[in-house]
Structure 1
Amino acid sequence: MSYIVVLLFSLGVCVVHCGRHTLQYDISLVSSYSHSVPHYTITAYIDGLQYGRYDSATRRGQVLIPSMVIPSRSTHLKHMLLQIEFAQKQEVAEKQKMESLMGFLNKTHGNGEFHVFQRKFACELHKDGTISGYDEIAFDGKELMTFDRERVVHVPVTQEALAMTQLWNRNYDYAKINKLYMENDCIENMKMYLLYVSTDLERKVPPKVKVSSSESESGTKLHCRVYGFYPRDVEVKWIKNGRDEIHSEEAAQILPNPDGTYQIRVSVGVTPEEGATYSCHIDHSSLEKTLVVPFEPSHRSASRILILVMAVLFFAFVALGIFVTGNRKRRETFNVLFCTYPWVVWPPIP
């Protein structure tokens, strides 16, 4: 079942190549229901690989990796059922948090408006056996608070979230519950899933690349779209004259595709210079060396089109010349034959 997931903020996911394993849950809650956007969704990742999903439209979980579907094992099936039950209970808890946030932020329902509560929760297991993690909460695309595991408190990111975090830290056990789950259940689940998805995590799919440009009042923008790659980690950058990196003012997000691969678009603003060259450089674990895709300015394309048009016109003139020459010879032949044999009726000559 396909649907649109509203993601208004994005924070990095470190995969196994960073020297640690990560189990992450992306939670999204929309205030007003729409048939195109499930009211509540949880998307689960193991080392950047999307393996599961839950949404309030079906109130069921969906396993996205075939190797994790083992119905013959009763313990595995029981675990999956418990995860679905946990997701259903979590849906109620997240709705309460969202209502609380909307009250503090003076947000209301209705009038065709909708609001989005988002949360990223993860536990991380390092090579030396130590544990870490994060819990980040955003509202309408703006990050509000984070979780401090060492002090077991929520920390405001913005001034408007100060009163909210003080209330949570003083009157609720959210922080303690987060710490217990992060250091125990989350880690145990991660170890279990890694046994099933090790082959999937080793899979490598090279990226496809498309470069383009667009013009606006602010100037020229170059776009490098990299898509269809796996695993998630990738480095994409624009290089001028083969050596100078062009920094992008836009934050590039790595987004998931329905087939389990990923995509990203990196755009930079440039001022075209005579003789300057631009190229998109892509580094990915599936590639033996950096993939370099040059950008060809529009005037080069125009030159190619002009050359093609001139070639077509040239051949058209040649064909016309042959036609005229042949036509003239046919008329001369007609005149000779008509004068010699005037009783022969010839078809009209065009």
Structure 2
Amino acid sequence: MNYIVLLVFSLGVSAVDCAGLHSLQYDIELVSFYNHDVPQYSITAYIDGLKYGRYDSDTRRGQVLLPSMIIPSLSTHAKHLLMQIKFAQRQEAIEKHKMEFVMGFLNKTFGNRDFHVYQRRFACKLNEDGTIGGYEEIAYNGKEVMVQDKERVVYVPATQEALIMTQQWNQHYDYAKINKLYMENDCIQHMKMYLPYVSTDLERKVLPKVKISSLELDRGKKLHCWVYGFYPRDVEVKWIKNGRDEIYSEESAEILPNPDGTYQIRVSVEVTPEEGATYSCHVDHSSLEKILVFPFESKYRRMIHITIPITAVFFVALLALGMLTIRTRRNNG
């Protein structure tokens, strides 16, 4: 089921990339038919990139993912969360209808039993100057097909293939106006309601741990820099050659969540070792006072480092033994 995971996370998972003081984001995911690996329908909620809640069609219940959000059941906030769960339950039928609409245009050449993924990302943000913004994206099988144009209050196609479909979507549905109103009002109010509860979690910082490894290839080496156990999510990891030249990787590196709420990422590059060249992994994170630099040392260089001290010790031992032998002979004479 790696295919499923790849599609589900192909758009990424964090809204903190959009500039702003605070953000609230919902990731809605729907698959074409049920299987035991992933729920058919799910919503994951983030505040400032921090995952705080989830709903799925298997349990039809909401799950609070932060201890700070677990509060007495009679409070106003708890009642609000219950209303959000009911909204998610009603939204399931609407999202299924949307997926069928998209599949009708983009899935004409595929069989009915093929596995397909529909995704919708909705986010609002509060900027430092007090202005309000946000965005909405719709993807199908990991490929963005439509986005909301807030100025024109319509959906626009992200690809030429989705042009006719988007035109029909705007004629049959009024979602752009409804979602724009929700984005600029209810979403912002919900964000302000949640922030006092999660402020401690948002300020938490955990230092990253790093492991360096390599793999021999026919044409060179593949260097791996695994950074794990860090929080918050944002991190910059890159390989540097000779202390100044960044090495770009052809592989996309994803920041993945850990069960304990921290994150991990692995950045890999292929290099052709050159005489005298050095390679190092640079890690930049908000929990660090300065960028961490972890050099890669090949087996050959490590053998040199080990061999030189051993050889030196052996030479000193031989010299001492020789001097002791000479001294003993003199005493005997």
TM-score, length-normalised on structure 2? Answer: 0.85
User: How many residues of Structure 1 are paired with residues of Structure 2 in the alignment?
Assistant: 306
Partner in structure 2 of residue 223 of structure 1: 224
Letter in 1 for 2:68: S
Structure 1 residues 116 and 176: CA distance shift in structure 2, 3 A: same
Quote the Cα distance in structure 1 between the aligned partners of 2:239 and 2:132: 36
Instruction: Tell me if 1:257 matches 2:274.
Output: no
Shift of 1:266: 1.6
Cα 1:18/1:99, change in 2 over 3 Å: closer
Superposed displacement of residue 102, structure 1: 1.0
Q: What corresponds to 1:103 in structure 2? A: 104
Q: How far apart are the structure 2 equivalents of 1:268 and 1:223? A: 7
The worse-fitting range, judged by mean Cα deviation, of 4-13 and 286-295 is 4-13
Are 1:291 and 2:295 matched, yes or no? Answer: no
Task: Please give the alpha-carbon distance, in whole angstroms, between the structure 1 residues aligned to 2:84 and 2:111.
Answer: 30
Contact map agreement 1:239 1:279 (CA 8 A) in 2: yes
Identify the residue that residue 329 of structure 2 maps to in structure 1. Answer: none
The aligned counterpart of 2:277 is: 276
- Say whether 1:176 aligns with 2:187: no
Q: 1:303 to 1:114 in 2, by over 3 A?
A: farther
Structure 2 counterpart of 1:154, one-letter code: Y
**Unaligned stretches of 5+ in structure 1?**
315-350
Q: Which residue of 2 aligns with 1:248?
A: 249
Partner in structure 1 of residue 323 of structure 2: none
155-164 or 256-265, larger mean C-alpha shift: 256-265
Deviation track 1:199-225 (CA, whole Å, cap 9, x = no partner) reads: 110000011111222344565322211
Code of the aligned partner of 1:99: E
With over 3 angstroms needed to count, the CA separation of the structure-2 counterparts of 1:217 and 1:93, relative to structure 1, is: farther
* Superimposed CA distance per residue, residues 66-93 of structure 1 (whole angstroms, 9 cap, x where no aligned partner): 1111125431221011100111111111
Paired residues of 1:16 and 1:22 also in contact (CA < 8 A): no
SS at match of 1:224: strand
Question: What is residue 207 of structure 1 aligned with on the other side?
Answer: 208
Could you say which residue in structure 2 is the equivalent of 1:84? 85
In structure 2, what is the equivalent of residue 134 of structure 1?
Answer: 135
Contact 1:102 1:108 in 2 (8 A): no
Letter in 2 for 1:237: K
| Deviation at residue 134 of structure 1 after TM alignment | 1.0
Q: Distance in 2 between the 1:188 and 1:16 partners?
A: 21
- Look up the match of 1:324: none
1:255 positional shift: 2.0
Instruction: Please give the alpha-carbon distance, in whole angstroms, between the structure 1 residues aligned to 2:54 and 2:291.
Output: 34
What is the CA RMSD across the aligned residues, in angstroms? Answer: 2.5
Distance verdict in 2 for CA 1:14–1:72, change over 3 Å:
closer
Secondary structure of the structure 2 residue equivalent to 1:119: strand
* Aligned partner letter, 2:132: I
2:34 is equivalent to residue 38 of structure 1: no
**TM alignment of 1:7-22, pairs within 5 A:** 7-11=8-12, 13-15=14-16, 19-22=20-23
Please give the secondary structure, in 1, of the residue aligned with 2:275.
coil
Contact 1:31 1:109 in 2 (8 A): no
Residue in 2 aligned with 1:329?
none
Structure 2 counterpart of 1:289, one-letter code: K
**SS at the partner of 2:253?**
coil
| 1:97 to 1:170, Cα distance in 2 relative to 1, 3 A | same
CA distance in 1, matches of 2:303, 2:117: 46
Deviation at 1:270, TM superposition (A): 1.6
Question: 1:131: Cα distance to partner?
Answer: 0.8
> SS at 2:8's partner residue?
coil
| Contact 1:15–1:47 (CA under 8 A) maintained in structure 2 | yes
Q: Percent identity of the aligned residues? A: 71
User: Residue 215 of structure 1 contacts residue 221 of structure 1 at CA under 8 Å; is this kept in 2?
Assistant: yes
Give structure 2 stretches of 5+ with no counterpart.
Answer: 315-333
Supply the AA of the counterpart residue of 1:163: I
Q: Is 1:24 matched with 2:32?
A: no
Separation (CA, whole Å) in 1 of partners of 2:109 and 2:86: 30
1:14 CA drift (Å): 4.7
Given residue 77 of structure 1, which amino acid in structure 2 is its aligned partner? A
1:7-60 superposed Cα distances (whole Å, 9 cap, x missing partner): 241247353995410101111111121112111111111001110011110000
**Larger radius of gyration between Structure 1 and Structure 2:** 1
How far did residue 301 of structure 1 move?
5.2
Q: Structure 1 residue 226: deviation in Å? A: 1.1
1:21 partner letter: H
State the Cα deviation string for residues 254-280 of structure 1 (Å, max 9, x = none): 222222111122222222111111000
Aligned to 2:162: 161
SS in 1 for 2:197: helix
Counterpart check, 1:192 vs 2:193: yes
> What is the rounded CA distance, in whole Å, between the counterparts of 1:287 and 1:74 in structure 2?
38
